[in-house]
């Protein structure tokens, strides 16, 4: 384990809670691998890891929290944050909305009035965001994203060439979405380069610990609490968390807000990042997905942590919140 992770013999109360949530999750074997991307169908289905990173810089982990997997749609949240920084929220809003769609993440659906993608957390919106970053940086857009993602994680992140190739060879639906975006004047004519950037950002390698640290960076007003690096601008962080809250869990987002109540983003690689503003980030990894594309064990783990620690934004009891306060101060 890395230097900042609480060692296995550090048995404080938060680690006990994390261990218990992990043990309960091991019995959950529902769901299936994302076999529509051939390389994702080859991962170990039993992998399961959970990590928490606090806004004070402490990291707790259990299980396969250091196993690498591709970030997939979790990248959409961080890409959106970068787009707002680069061209401003008003210009981003002209090209992609912030309304929940109620449709599947890969739906070929746009707002009937504006012809924009509904939000940046579905494929159409994320491809639009990739278009914004490609307009800004050209062939350097992926290096820019990789640098910022790595700074948010506090270490240089890797890249899965095989998954990238697999996505590129089978991503015809995403290309169709991009061409419709071009027809609507939402993205530029560099369609192949934009879609390629989208495939590349989804193929960045992370771990559950990385996602926890990236979540903690958002929670800590854009500053990585482990390194002190101001990674993201504050206004962009606020807007990103807001859209994660309402749109981040595909067409399960309404139930997620109702039951769990924290900003989050999932990906078909099996990862989930959660953000508790000014307090902590959560990262989970388990590749078996439900029908909506969310990790079955990951959803259950974050739900259990929300209950145990009182993380729900509208928790009225304050019992869990006062318990959490002892861990993050």
Q: What tokens were used for 148?
A: 């910022």
Contact status, residue 26 vs residue 46, Cβ threshold 8 Å: no
The predicted model scores a pTM of 0.92
Report how far Cα 226 is from the mean position of its chain's Cα atoms: 19
CA distance 292 to 261: 18
Question: Tens-digit pLDDT profile for the chain (329 aa)?
Answer: 444 555 444 448 999 999 999 999 999 999 999 988 899 999 999 999 999 999 999 999 999 999 999 999 999 999 999 999 999 999 999 999 998 876 666 666 767 677 789 899 999 999 999 999 999 999 999 999 999 999 999 999 999 999 999 999 999 999 999 999 999 999 999 999 999 999 999 999 999 999 999 999 999 999 999 999 999 999 999 999 999 999 999 888 889 999 999 999 999 999 999 999 999 999 999 999 999 999 999 999 999 999 999 999 998 654 445 456 655 65
Burial 134-151 (b: 16+ CB within 10 A, else e): bbebeeebbeebbebbbb
167 has binding-site annotation: yes
Say which residues have a Cβ less than 8 Å from residue 101's Cβ, sequence separation at least 6. 107, 109, 118, 119, 122, 247, 251
Q: Which of 8, 35, 307 is nearest to 170 (CA)?
A: 35
CA distance 328 to 94: 39
Domains in the chain (CATH in brackets) are: 13-72+204-328 (3.40.710.10), 75-201 (3.40.710.10)
Pairing of strands 49-54, 280-285: antiparallel
Tell me which residue has tokens 């304050």.
318
Say which residues have a Cβ less than 8 Å from residue 147's Cβ, sequence separation at least 6. none
Contact status, residue 279 vs residue 55, Cβ threshold 8 Å: yes
Active-site positions read 73, 76, 198, 250, 268
Contact status, residue 248 vs residue 263, Cβ threshold 8 Å: yes
| DSSP structure class, residue 187 | S
289-321 pLDDT, tens digit each? 999 999 999 999 999 999 999 999 998 654 445
258 has binding-site annotation: no
CB atoms within 10 A of CB 120: 30
């Amino acid at each position: 384990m890395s230097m900042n992770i609480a060692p296995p013999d550090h048995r404080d109360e938060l680690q006990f809670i994390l261990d218990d949530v992990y043990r309960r999750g091991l019995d959950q074997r529902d769901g299936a691998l994302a076999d529509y991307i051939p390389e994702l169908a080859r991962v170990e289905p039993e992998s399961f890891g959970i990590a928490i990173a606090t806004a004070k810089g402490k990291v707790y982990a259990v299980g396969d929290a250091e196993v690498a997997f591709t970030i997939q749609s979790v990248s959409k949240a961080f890409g959106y944050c970068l787009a707002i920084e680069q061209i401003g929220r008003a210009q981003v809003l002209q090209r992609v909305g912030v309304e929940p769609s109620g449709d599947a993440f890969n739906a070929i659906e746009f707002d009937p009035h504006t012809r924009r993608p509904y939000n940046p957390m579905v494929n159409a919106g994320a491809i639009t965001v990739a278009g914004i970053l490609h307009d800004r940086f050209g062939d350097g857009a992926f290096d820019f994203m990789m640098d910022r993602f790595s700074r948010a994680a506090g270490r240089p992140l890797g890249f899965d060439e095989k998954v990238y190739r697999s996505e590129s060879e089978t991503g015809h639906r995403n290309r169709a979405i991009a061409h419709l975006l071009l027809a609507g004047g939402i993205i530029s004519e560099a369609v192949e380069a934009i879609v390629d950037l989208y495939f590349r950002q989804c193929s960045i390698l992370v771990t559950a610990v990385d996602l926890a640290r990236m979540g903690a960076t958002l929670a800590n007003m854009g500053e990585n609490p482990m390194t002190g690096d101001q990674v993201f601008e504050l206004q962009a962080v606020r807007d990103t968390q807001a859209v994660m809250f309402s749109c981040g869990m595909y067409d399960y987002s309404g139930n997620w807000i109702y039951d769990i109540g924290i900003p989050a983003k999932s990906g078909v690689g099996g990862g989930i990042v959660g953000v508790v503003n000014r307090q902590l980030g959560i990262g989970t990894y388990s590749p078996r997905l439900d029908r909506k594309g969310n990790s079955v064990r990951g959803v259950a783990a974050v739900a259990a942590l929300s209950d145990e620690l009182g993380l729900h934004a509208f928790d009225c009891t304050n019992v869990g919140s006062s318990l959490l306060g002892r861990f993050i101060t």
